[in-house]
Amino acid sequence: MTDGMTWLAAPRSIAFGGYSVVMARGLTPQELVGRLTQTLRGPRHTAVPVGDLTGADLLALMVEYDEIGLRHGRCGDWSYTVAYGGWMGEFGGGPPLSRGGVDICHLEFEEENGKPVPPQFAYVRDEVVLSAFNLHLDGSWGYDGVDGDPGTASRVQAALTAAGLPADEGTDDSTGDRYVHRTALGVVERHFGLSLPREEIVNGLLPAVLLEPA
């Protein structure tokens, strides 16, 4: 029995501020950290190992809120990284993570953003977007069906519809968003065969790095 993905929908499931998880098939965890570090906006950064730490331990090492740390591990065929600190909006430059035939899944939720910004999911293979959508399925944030490769996107959309999403309008906002978020994560989990180890990420020790200017 695996932990799946739906646990990410719980309030502050990983840390205050939300979650940013990148999963890769075709890279080691260390290779994923290296590629992700290259996408950090601004001056070039390097990943400095700081030992095996809990998330709380890593946050305690950060002197400034805008510092960024990563913990990394492996779950089945997938390597993963979890971001801590001021990661919001800081990744996205540099060469594509999925170059060279790599599969990349990115799940991100700026939970404390007051706008509020919905959680996002994207699956990219070798620089081709297979599936991408916001996990609240909120039309006010541009949701108009699943984007990406037509064949994959249509199958994911059919799975969302079969799960009863989007949910009926008029549902209480906080409960409704959380329900849609969790249900959409369940669709992603089943469709793409994804899972993340909750106990390991939330309470366990994982190799950690701080991203520091080179």
pLDDT at 66: 85
pLDDT at 138: 81
pLDDT at 167: 67
The domain limits of the chain are 6-213
Is the separation of the CB atoms in 131 and 148 below 8 Å?
yes
Q: Dihedrals φ, ψ of 155, to 5°?
A: -70, -40
pLDDT at 125: 98
Which residues of the chain are under the pLDDT cut of 50? 1, 170-175
Q: Dihedrals φ, ψ of 121, to 5°?
A: -130, 140
CB neighbours of residue 86 within 10 Å: 15
DSSP E strand stretches across 41-153: 45-53, 68-75, 78-85, 103-110, 120-125, 128-134
Q: Dihedrals φ, ψ of 81, to 5°?
A: -130, 150
